[in-house]
Chain A
């Protein structure tokens, strides 16, 4: 389990999807592939309630992840918290599965007495600290996100500070939707550092539809493509082992 990698999609948006396939369906599919979908909804400071953002909760639930609706100024704190919490939750999910196999279906970490639970969580924490993590970040760049993009960048840098303080390795990839010509554009290929965002983000043109479903689909394909490539290309795998 230590050698495995956790895979997450982090979706940052401020509204309903209005183009392409149903994001809930893609999100459910992602969970089947072992990919967690977390969603963060950004609320305008002058808006009182987030009724329009009910969709994000549903997407996260379908993707086995966590959702949170926040005001722009709380974004940094939330992005890193949601990501780390989702990691712990995924690991707990693995542990629960194992427990069910050993102890029977009705058992989970919570059904253990507190003293046993403490031991299990210690292991969960160890894994959370050392496990490799791959995150595909999906950023909504429709018109309404224009003045929030700077904060999004800040919060991603902040996420990087938190995750890169772990012992485990991290890789990030970043997509925006809608893209210039297509529904989705890839801005960053797998990288352990997000500094390039400083030069990429200011050049973005904002506007258009909100194709959340297609964006999730693209991220899912990207994860699977990578697996496929690694599976076939033995050179690649060797080089990774060698690097370790």
Chain B
């Protein structure tokens, strides 16, 4: 059977009972979950409870996805995705048309952008780290995810964990990527081939990170990596991650775990700056407090003191914020310098400690010898 057109949606009303042609398992359609290029996904109830059913008029995609799902969820110790339940054919009794479908575990969760919108941007890095952990396991099995995008990531409840859905793009390493989405595809940006390589997935992860922060999928303008770099520069929350992201775009991470380590390091760095900033803020407030106290002593009138307080705050704050915004790089540099200093001090202290111990031991030994003589 040749089909002349690309896939269309398969419409099934809630309550429709689907009986498999081969396995005779029954599923009752509950609601539409989504519709993509390769099929339509419904929530349904089966023997074991809620399941997700993906249907298509083309058996190719369904069968290929089943192949992939079976391969990557074979090993029980690591959960790499919703587990595979059933595969079968459905013949619509009204039209006598044949549909191909497979059944998998239903992942109940919210989309990643929605979760972040509700719970705050600080979650973004956590989920990216989780995605990288999943990817590392998948890569070790010899596959890449391929069509990695924000829409294919769900956050489950309690615990809040990332889970990926839609395995249509999963491709054996070394082959051509089967399915992709332009914004997350390095080929679209002119930054590499569509060969299934680890770096292909890591590029997509980088674009997911950028998408989460700048909240839109922009079209290419022909400038390639420079365009994305500009977006990173223009998005304030992406600024501190610039080097981390550029490495991902250029394909410089050798593995998902290497990228994960890098992100963890950046998080630490960024948190340290935040802490330092808050310390600075504390210091400035302390200063103003002192000033107010002094002014209180001098003038002994409450009105004047509050005025000066307000004044000092208003002059301090803008200066602070501008210096923070304009020179994030410098501040990281000086912080790095401070770290080195502390380390050196520590080193010297250690050296001092060991030498004293050695000296004492030597002395004790000498005394022992002297005694023996």
Contacts and interface: CB of A to CB of B under 8 A. Distances in A.
B175 A88 contact: no
A113 B88 CA distance: 8
Interface in B55-89: 59-60, 63-64, 66-67, 70, 87-89
Given A92-B60, A114-B63, A162 B5 contact: no
B368 interface: no
Nearest to B197: A165
B37 A81 contact: yes
Nearest to B59: A110
Residues of A contacting B: mostly: helix
Contacts of B89: 110, 114
B5 A66 contact: yes
Given A77-B182, A109-B59, A165-B195, A61 B176 contact: no
Nearest to A129: B175
Contacts of B253: none
A64 B2 contact: yes
Interface string B166-184: 0000000011110000100
A61 B4 CA distance: 6
Interface string B91-124: 0000000101000000000000000000000000
A118 B63 contact: yes
Contacts of B2: 64, 89, 93
B187 A166 contact: no
A172 interface: no
Nearest to B70: A118
Contacts of A125: 64
A85 interface: yes
A164 B187 CA distance: 11
A108 B194 contact: no
A193 to B, nearest CB: 13
A122 interface: yes
A82 B64 CA distance: 17
Given A60-B4, A67-B4, A164-B193, A158 B188 contact: yes
Interface in A119-140: 121-122, 124-125, 129
Nearest to B194: A165
A57 B3 CA distance: 11
Interface in B13-51: 22, 37
B176 A129 contact: yes
B6 interface: yes
Interface in A66-120: 66-68, 76-78, 81-82, 85, 88-89, 92-93, 108-110, 113-114, 117-118
A167 interface: yes
B5 A67 contact: yes
A163 B196 CA distance: 12
B102 to A, nearest CB: 8
A114 B22 contact: yes
Nearest to B66: A118
A66 B195 contact: no
Contacts of B37: 81
B357 interface: no
A82 B22 contact: no
A161 interface: yes
A240 B195 CA distance: 26
A162 B187 contact: yes
Given A66-B6, A110-B59, A114-B89, A161 B22 contact: no
B342 interface: no
Given A114-B89, A161-B193, A166-B175, A121 B5 contact: no
A129 B171 CA distance: 11
Contacts of B67: 118, 121-122
Nearest to A130: B175
B98 A110 contact: yes
B87 A114 contact: yes
Contacts of A77: 182
B371 to A, nearest CB: 81
B193 A114 contact: no
Interface string B147-160: 00000000000000
A97 to B, nearest CB: 12
A34 to B, nearest CB: 15
A60 B3 CA distance: 11
Contact of B22 (A89, A113, A124, A166): A113
Nearest to B181: A77
A164 B175 CA distance: 10
A167 B174 contact: yes
Nearest to B200: A165
Nearest to B174: A167
Contacts of A76: 182, 188
A164 to B, nearest CB: 7
A165 B179 CA distance: 13
B6 A158 contact: no
8 contacts: A57-B4, A67-B4, A68-B6, A110-B59, A113-B22, A125-B64, A158-B187, A162-B177
Interface of A: 57, 60-61, 64, 66-68, 76-78, 81-82, 85, 88-89, 92-93, 108-110, 113-114, 117-118, 121-122, 124-125, 129, 158, 161-167
Given A82-B6, A165-B177, 9 more contacts: A57-B5, A60-B4, A89-B3, A110-B100, A118-B63, A129-B176, A158-B187, A161-B193, A165-B187
Q: What 9 pairs across the A-B complex have the smallest Cβ distances?
A: A165-B194, A165-B176, A161-B187, A166-B176, A165-B195, A121-B63, A114-B87, A165-B193, A129-B175
